[in-house]
Amino acid sequence: MIKDEQKGHIKLLVRFVKSKLCVAREARKKMNFTENSTEIQDFGDPCEYVLLQPSMLKMRVWMVSIFGSTISFISMIENIFLFGIFVTSRRHRRENVYMMLLAFFDIFVSMAYILLMSVNVLSDYFLAPFLVSIWYFYMIPIITISHIAMTSSSFLIVAASFERYCATLNTKNMRFAQKNRKLIAGFAVLLGVISKGTMCLEFELVYHEQCAGKMTATTMKFRSFVFDTPYHYYFRFLYRNFVTVFAPFFILVYLNFRIVRALTTYTTATVCLVSSGTGADLQKRKANARAATRTLVVVGFTYIASNIINVTLTSLEQAHDDISQQYPSLYIIAIDLVSLLTTFACAARLPIYLFCQPVLRNEIFERLKRFCSLQKSPKTDEKLGERLRSMETDTSYLSGEKSTKSLLAAETVPIATIPELDANCEKDAVRQILQQSPYETLL
């Protein structure tokens, strides 16, 4: 039976990795004794392995190892395909850097769910020491990478939402957000690395020779510096909780609320329609702008929905220290749901893009046809290339007949100010405005 002081120490381990792929919580089931031999003698066989809530184990196998792993595998395939589309297109690398990086990090998050959550539950179900030893072998680096990926993804969604917020409300920061998109994305990733990169230094594996070949042959604990220095309170408790959990959640709630409110309030056209053959083109561009905004709003709301339980659980843990001991069954279910909703949000990206982005949907279908076609004639390849180039031209605000030099020399005019132009504005002037429109990017 696990001692009370061990439970307190293990609960701290739970709180440390509670968000999303909170696999370190599972390690408390494998920490059944300390290195103090006198304490071991008082509590029976030190190699005894005690399952946590064994009555829930079968349900967790179906929920985590079967259903969750299936969703994770589908998410991996989807995001590998999306990342391949984004990284092989210069337009996507320039304009859709947030979507590209999101797909990249979603691959690791989905993979980590299978390696950490599913394998851990299966090791308990089959009582397989071999699976436990493998799990401990890769647990620390994988959980560090997965948390960096999840934290970076949340910051990337906030950055993309901020850019769309500036474009929708025509704020003074619009041009800054667009011109420095890659710099902002890089800073979001760097912030994720700084926030969660030190996780790999905080854990220590303990090997027990007297339990070799058993479930408790390897256990895990925190290194001494974690609780013996201010690092625990200032960095792990204050910084990680408020900067990586609460801040992205409530910032996205605010930004999405303002964007949706602006879209429902101002329903009139945001660009002028000229009669000299440009009306259809402007309507198409407006549709692309609305689709881009709708896409990001849905992505933001998906993140918010998948993190509601995480934010609630974090708040409850700060208010009630012993919640994991008072309600162990509910706590386990909550942790599993947080992990499952996180990987479900990763798998939902592709359906969101397909539903909200007609142009991107056509490009994805064309790539799928190209990938699935085993034999194609040169004529088919030529037509496919023309289609893909045509779709890039539809949404790229830097493409057009004017040279890059002339476009850079022209002053960018936000779409919200276009209706004030004279109805007889020349065709070339309108084209320059549209080509530099902040609404043309997908994210």
pLDDT in tens, 125-140: 999 999 999 999 999 9
Bigger pLDDT: 337 vs 14: 337
Contact 32, 50 (CB under 8 A): yes
Please check the confidence at residue 43 and state whether its pLDDT lies above 70: no
307-330 mean pLDDT: 84
Please check the confidence at residue 392 and state whether its pLDDT lies above 90: no
Burial 10-38 (b: 16+ CB within 10 A, else e): bbbbbbbbbbbbbbbbbbbbbbbbbeeee
Please check the confidence at residue 342 and state whether its pLDDT lies above 70: yes
Please check the confidence at residue 150 and state whether its pLDDT lies above 90: yes
Of the chain, the end-to-end C-alpha distance in Å amounts to 53
Residue 384 burial class via C-beta count within 10 angstroms: exposed 0-12, middle 13-18, buried 19 and up: middle
pLDDT in tens, 223-242: 999 999 999 999 999 999 99
Q: Give pLDDT, residue 385.
A: 56
Q: Give pLDDT, residue 50.
A: 84
Structure tokens at 98: 């947030």
416-421: list long-range contacts, CB under 8 Å, 24+ apart: 416/170, 416/270, 417/170, 418/270, 418/271, 418/272, 419/269, 419/270, 419/271, 419/272, 421/272
Q: Give pLDDT, residue 289.
A: 74
Q: Name residues whose C-beta falls within 8 Å of residue 413's C-beta, 6 or more positions apart in sequence.
A: 433, 436
Amino acid at 234: Y
Closest Cα partner for 393 from 359, 342, 349, 355? 359
Q: Which residues pair with 207 in a beta bridge?
A: 218
Q: Give pLDDT, residue 419.
A: 38
**388 band by pLDDT with thresholds 50, 70 and 90:** low
Torsion angle (degrees, nearest 10) of CA 362, 366, 372, 373: 140
Amino acid at 364: I
Residues in the chain: 443
199-211 mean pLDDT: 93
Query: Whose structure tokens read 């690791």?
Result: 108
> What mean pLDDT is reported for the chain?
77
pLDDT in tens, 279-309: 666 677 677 777 888 888 999 999 999 999 9
Bigger pLDDT: 280 vs 55: 55
Q: Give pLDDT, residue 369.
A: 87
Pairing of strands 203-207, 218-222: antiparallel
Share of the chain above pLDDT 90, in %: 49
Burial 51-73 (b: 16+ CB within 10 A, else e): ebeeebeeebbebbbeebbebbb
Distance CA 44, CA 322 (A): 26
Please check the confidence at residue 21 and state whether its pLDDT lies above 70: no
pLDDT in tens, 24-36: 334 333 443 333 3
Sign of CA dihedral 334, 108, 135, 121: positive
CATH topology of domain 4-356+397-440: Rhopdopsin 7-helix transmembrane proteins (1.20.1070)
345-372 mean pLDDT: 91
Please check the confidence at residue 271 and state whether its pLDDT lies above 70: no
416-428 mean pLDDT: 41
**Which of 19-33, 38-52, 231-245, 328-342 is least confident?**
19-33
364-373 mean pLDDT: 86
Q: Give pLDDT, residue 190.
A: 97
Please check the confidence at residue 147 and state whether its pLDDT lies above 90: yes
**Which of 105-109, 221-225, 248-252, 265-269 is least confident?**
265-269
Share of the chain above pLDDT 70, in %: 70
Please check the confidence at residue 111 and state whether its pLDDT lies above 80: yes
56-75 mean pLDDT: 95
Q: Give pLDDT, residue 328.
A: 86
Spell out the SS3 assignment of the chain. Answer: CCCHHHHHHHHHHHHHCCCCCCHHHHHHHHCCCCCCHHHHHHCCCCCCCCCCCHHHHHHHHHHHHHHHHHHHHHHHHHHHHHHHHHHCCHHHHHHCHHHHHHHHHHHHHHHHHHHHHHHHHHHHHHCCHHHHHHHHHHHHHHHHHHHHHHHHHHHHHHHHHHHHHHHHHCCCCHHHHHHCHHHHHHHHHHHHHHHHCCHHHHEEEEECHHHCCCCCCEEEEECCHHHHCCHHHHHHHHHHHHHHHHHHHHHHHHHHHHHHHHHHHCCCCCCCCCCCCCHHHHHHHHHHHHHHHHHHHHHHHHHHHHHHHHHHHHHHHHHCCCHHHHCHHHHHHHHHHHHHHHHHHHHCHHHHHHHHCHHHHHHHHHHHHHHHCCCCCHHHHHHHHHHHHHHHHHHCCCCCCCCHHHHHHCCCCCHHHHHHCCCCCCHHHHHHHHHCCHHHCCC
**Which of 154-163, 215-224, 434-443 is least confident?**
434-443
pLDDT in tens, 84-104: 999 998 888 988 999 999 999
